[in-house]
Amino acid sequence: QVQLVESGGGLVQAGGSLRLACQASGSDFIVNTMGWYRQAPGKQRELVGSITISGSTNYADSVKGRFTITRDNAKNTMNLQMNSLKPEDTAVYYCHSRVAIRGANYLYWGQGTQVTVSS
């Protein structure tokens, strides 16, 4: 069993920055691809970006150039640096991970952290 815990959400003015963190914990696991998703009220959950175990990243067009995903494989952590935030970035942000446990792959979600950007 693996747990993903997000932290770092909050309220920020438009143009500001926030940094989210995701910590994976458990035993006898390997974290493969990690990603951030978000869900705004009344909208479907959407991919913000992802990062492979080798560090290759992929971003949604809406956040390219503003958001940066990094990870520390030794600590099983992933960060999302969000700059130049816009009101439309307001959402609950979820950490997601593909994890290998004893040769089998599993998908895990964090509980989510609220990001609110005021205009």
Please report, in tens digits, the pLDDT of each residue of the chain (119 residues total): 899 999 999 999 999 999 999 999 998 899 999 999 999 999 999 999 999 999 999 999 999 999 999 999 999 999 999 999 999 999 999 999 999 999 899 999 999 999 999 99
Q: Please choose, from the candidates 119, 115, 117, 96, the residue with its C-alpha nearest in 3D space to the C-alpha of residue 8.
A: 115
| Eight-state DSSP code of residue 85 | -
d(CA 101, CA 109): 16
pLDDT on residue 15 = 98
Neighbouring residues of 41: CB distance < 8 A, sequence distance ≥ 6: none
d(CA 80, CA 68): 6
Buried b / exposed e along 44-74 (16+ C-beta atoms within 10 A)? eeeebbbbeeeeeeebeeebeeebbbebeee
Neighbouring residues of 76: CB distance < 8 A, sequence distance ≥ 6: 23, 24, 25, 31
